[in-house]
Structure 1
Amino acid sequence: MQFTVADTFMIGVFKQRDLLAGHSGLGRPIQSVTVVDAPDAWQWIRGGEFVMTTAFCFKENEALLERLISHLASRGAAALGIKTERFIGSLSPKVLSLADGLGFPIISVSSERAWIDIICPIMKELFAREFGRSPDSERVYRTLTDAVVNGGGIKELSEALYSILLQPVLITDASSLIQSAFPEDLLKDAEQEFVQRLLMPRENEKACVINETPWTERFENEKESRVIVSIPGKGGPAGYWIILETRRKLDSADMSILSHACNVATLLLRQEKSARDMARRFKDDFIVHLLNGEIETRAALRRAKDFSWHLGDTLAVCLFQVDVLDEVLDKILCHMSRLLPAGTPLGIDAAGRIAAVVTCNGGPSGSSQSCQTNGLVCTTDELPSTFKTRSEALCTTVTRSVAEKFKIRISAGIGRPYRDILSIPRSYREAERALTLGSRIAAKRTLLPSVTHYVDLGIYRFFNTDNMECKEFFNEVVSPLIRYNQDHKSDLISTLATFFDCECNFRETGRRLFIHPNTVRYRLKTVERITGLTISNPEDRLLLQVGLKMIPLID
């Protein structure tokens, strides 16, 4: 017998006064429960869902809410539950009239009620109607819901599902990163590459679609089989259940259990992501205040301790540039936290870059006491040089590992170490300059993104390409050579740069460029004619060398 929207009032999930509109649609059947918070969430509705929302994304755009209601009704959703008190207040007559016309129930949900308080009784009733009101169905229901209601999370839900199915169970997020696995010894083999292989059929396996809501497939060959269940989420799967059928093949009753487990998993994954996002926001806010010098020393030490971070006597900033979506950025931060020394403050700066504040606790000034830079060992007498070497090695390890694991481009800039928290902004500005200039130089030379220490910028530390005088100097000395190269398909700039690299030796320059020394002389005479500078004059030669240095920095 179908479970309908009207039945939710009969079993006490809602009261009659909660029904705001769509009375004629109370007979719509409910097959599952889902929570949405995206204006285009209707795209992933397959039919029969009791949809719930805080309506946060609709609070300033009623047209989006009307569009959502229309699409939910046309796609066969059962009803829409809205926490009207939370963000939007009362619904307008226009919205209520639309729902009435579509026969699509809209139910008001108290902002004080947790989603799980609505999901659990609906799940229980669906279980009872599908499996009968037997001790077994009650046991299955309680095993799944108690794992969550009693404060559990994904791990507890996985363990509960394993205890019901008696088959190895894995759950991953959308990027196939493992969230939990049972039995626990399964984790030994559950590396990301292993899981990714499980999510796709192998060459000798056939794939069979078992259910469309939630999307469920079985991959099997003569020796083994497994079931993959897509956990619905915002904009696509929130993750996957993987059931290894080591004892028997799952039957229709098992599939129904998996369907209900998916509903709970969707909510849990959403809650855990919200908790991670909130924690990251707090950390990022602290990082921004720290980098900008907007927090005094005692408060900084106290807040760092709250995050289990360490701020020592000597500090330097390492800044990383990656161009990825937020979902991937979370995983990169997690990966980097394992590569960096324990207790290293790590977060996102105001420009969206990853910032790490590396600590080195030294002894008294002038002593040769050993110190530990959260894994970088040096003595206070040799701190600047040793820290530079070891921080470069650390950042190189981090960038290479991130680049290989996530298949992205990443570069890093490192500031000099300073001996108090209030100097962090100075190291941050240096790291920012090292990152920006180092990346530009690497890009112009068609190199992979680099790790650049501020000290290694050399003369580049004095360049400010936003300065008008700097731009005018470039336009006077270098731009004429660039235009000549473009107009005449010549090679004056590379010839001049090679000439300086060869210590102004005509013969060596010709050898490196595979041209005659007289050709080198002719090209350099052309440079002198265009610029009005004399290469044999030390002052003019310096101007040309500085101009060449500026080329990677000027667009």
Structure 2
Amino acid sequence: MISCHEIINLPSLRKLTIVAGRSGLDRLVRWVHFLDLPDVIPWVQGGELLIITGIGLNGDISKLNDIVRGIIKKKLAGLIVNIGPYIKEVPQEVIALADQADFPIFELPWEVKIIEVTRELCSHIVMKQTEERSVKDFLEQLLLFPLADPEILIQRAAYYDYDLTKPHQVAIVSPTCLSEFLKAKKIKDEKSLVSFKMRFEQVVRQVLTRRGQKILHMLWGDDVVLLMPYENEQAGVNPNIIILEEVLEKFLIDIPDLAVTAGLGGRFESLQSARKSYLQAIKVLRFAELKTASKSIYAYEQLGIYKLLFEIEPEKLAMYYQEVIEPLNVYDCKHHMDMVSSLFVYFEENCNAAKTAKRLFVHRNTLDYRLKKIEEITGRSLDDPYDRLTLQLGVIVGKQLTSETGAHELRR
């Protein structure tokens, strides 16, 4: 889809003037409608760019206010008013209404032929839709399957003005606790779910459009996957993290009840390593699931010891967990206790007993009893650095193994 901002630069629309809703120029245009009925509301669905001359108003310009209020409610992309004998200018009260809703309204001079406008807009939309399908196709080839001929993908991307010869990294923007969100919003049927996913992708697209950056991206499952050029870091800050921060801020505004996390894979220079970066981004999101005190953006380079754990075969990790932590699980099941979770929180709080007791909502004496019991059951001392590290790795591995069942599928 194209944004309202893009249409200003089309040849037949150079005389187009925006008079309201400039802050909403990142709205996406699904299609174009030219309607001059007295009531256009029943004939639009949302996402359209509406063109009117005002002939259907029958000389009553005050009706324009009701039309704009209605199409804002219907979530149209914007409105083009053909200025001429029926509407000489957009009234100030309509401009104020549109500005308040960040709804773009444009004035088009009467001498510009509407047929030329609609033809060019529709052609441009179809062209963009073709580009989006092609982009998703070669992103799938690049990230999800063994790469056969990178030069072909580089040439295809260059056709749409994407330079894949530069260093890149893969990012994944993912909704967290999605099932709970869908349940709370009563999104149950397939149509509503598809609509939500399109809205999710649209938020990402709007940020990229507003920044004027060409970044390959696609909706994949519940997530948006991005192939982001890796520019030189400025003052030690990765520019892609700044972009992702803007994306997450946009989600806070547009879908405030939805928690969203972003994971960044490693930097790569050869396209043969693109899939590796994609899998790293998936692992980063799995790491985010392990964190109880989570943040919004994680990068593979910052995972520390987790990078090593993610490379170890799950079977070996399971054996380690069985040896170190399983005795605590047996005790928990037998005595209806929660020693393993208590130990995890204890390590998350850097072995600070006071903070751990507060997070667990237990008395300090209760926590002390649990810690002594943990030492007794495992045969390891929390005062000994080696034993403490062994137990800490054990609970980390346990969290990792648990997350495997709900992790993103690693496409082969």
TM-score, normalising length: structure 2: 0.59
Would the alpha carbon gap of residues 432 and 187 (structure 1) be closer, same or farther in structure 2, given more than 3 Å must change?
farther
Aligned residue number for residue 107 of structure 2: none
CA distance in 2, matches of 1:356, 1:281: 15
CA RMSD of the aligned region, Å?
Answer: 5.2
SS in 2 for 1:463: helix
Would the alpha carbon gap of residues 542 and 297 (structure 1) be closer, same or farther in structure 2, given more than 3 Å must change?
same
- Measured against aligned partners, the alpha-carbon deviations of 1:181-206 in whole angstroms (never above 9, x if no partner) come to 998333443544999xxxxxxxxxxx
User: Is 1:523 the equivalent of 2:355?
Assistant: no
SS in 1 for 2:170: strand
Pair member with larger Rg: 1
Would the alpha carbon gap of residues 248 and 393 (structure 1) be closer, same or farther in structure 2, given more than 3 Å must change?
closer
Aligned residue number for residue 315 of structure 1: 168
SS in 1 for 2:382: coil
Would the alpha carbon gap of residues 273 and 432 (structure 1) be closer, same or farther in structure 2, given more than 3 Å must change?
same
Residue type matched to 2:306 in 1? Y
CA apart distance, 1:335: 1.3
CA distance in 1, matches of 2:313, 2:26: 50
CA distance in 1, matches of 2:278, 2:7: 35
CA apart distance, 1:376: 4.6
Aligned residues: 330
CA distance in 1, matches of 2:6, 2:150: 39
CA apart distance, 1:394: 3.1
Task: Please show how residues 104-253 of structure 1 align to structure 2 within 5 Å.
Answer: 184-192=16-24, 210=39, 214=43, 225-226=64-65, 228=67
SS in 1 for 2:370: helix
Residue type matched to 1:298 in 2? E
Aligned residue number for residue 109 of structure 1: none
Identical positions, percent:
20
Would the alpha carbon gap of residues 271 and 406 (structure 1) be closer, same or farther in structure 2, given more than 3 Å must change?
farther
Task: Please show how residues 57-456 of structure 1 align to structure 2 within 5 Å.
Answer: 184-192=16-24, 210=39, 214=43, 225-226=64-65, 228=67, 274-291=126-143, 292=145, 294-322=147-175, 325=195, 326-329=197-200, 331-338=202-209, 342-344=213-215, 346-348=216-218, 351=221, 353-360=223-230, 373=231, 376-377=233-234, 386=236, 389-407=238-256, 408-438=258-288, 440-442=289-291, 444-445=292-293, 447=294, 450-456=296-302
Question: 1:315·1:418 contact (CA, 8 Å) conserved in 2?
Answer: yes
CA distance in 1, matches of 2:167, 2:203: 26
Would the alpha carbon gap of residues 535 and 187 (structure 1) be closer, same or farther in structure 2, given more than 3 Å must change?
same
SS in 2 for 1:452: strand
Would the alpha carbon gap of residues 333 and 392 (structure 1) be closer, same or farther in structure 2, given more than 3 Å must change?
closer
Question: 2:4·2:26 contact (CA, 8 Å) conserved in 1?
Answer: no
CA distance in 1, matches of 2:88, 2:211: 42
Would the alpha carbon gap of residues 524 and 229 (structure 1) be closer, same or farther in structure 2, given more than 3 Å must change?
closer
CA distance in 2, matches of 1:501, 1:471: 21
Question: 1:310·1:343 contact (CA, 8 Å) conserved in 2?
Answer: no
SS in 2 for 1:348: strand
Would the alpha carbon gap of residues 419 and 190 (structure 1) be closer, same or farther in structure 2, given more than 3 Å must change?
closer
CA distance in 2, matches of 1:508, 1:377: 36
Gaps of 5+ in 1: 1-171, 196-208, 250-261, 361-372, 379-385
Residue type matched to 2:137 in 1? D
Gaps of 5+ in 2: 28-37, 45-51, 91-113, 179-193, 404-412
Question: 2:26·2:210 contact (CA, 8 Å) conserved in 1?
Answer: no
Moved more, 544-553 or 334-343: 334-343
Residue type matched to 2:274 in 1? I
CA distance in 1, matches of 2:365, 2:42: 78
Aligned residue number for residue 461 of structure 1: 307
Residue type matched to 1:301 in 2? I
SS in 2 for 1:547: helix
Question: 2:203·2:247 contact (CA, 8 Å) conserved in 1?
Answer: no
CA distance in 1, matches of 2:40, 2:211: 44
Would the alpha carbon gap of residues 211 and 404 (structure 1) be closer, same or farther in structure 2, given more than 3 Å must change?
closer
CA distance in 2, matches of 1:466, 1:268: 55
CA distance in 2, matches of 1:339, 1:194: 6
SS in 2 for 1:226: helix
Residue type matched to 2:65 in 1? R
SS in 2 for 1:394: helix
SS in 1 for 2:303: helix
SS in 2 for 1:535: coil
- Measured against aligned partners, the alpha-carbon deviations of 1:145-194 in whole angstroms (never above 9, x if no partner) come to xxxxxxxxxxxxxxxxxxxxxxxxxxx99x99997899833344354499
CA apart distance, 1:306: 0.8
Residue type matched to 1:425 in 2? R
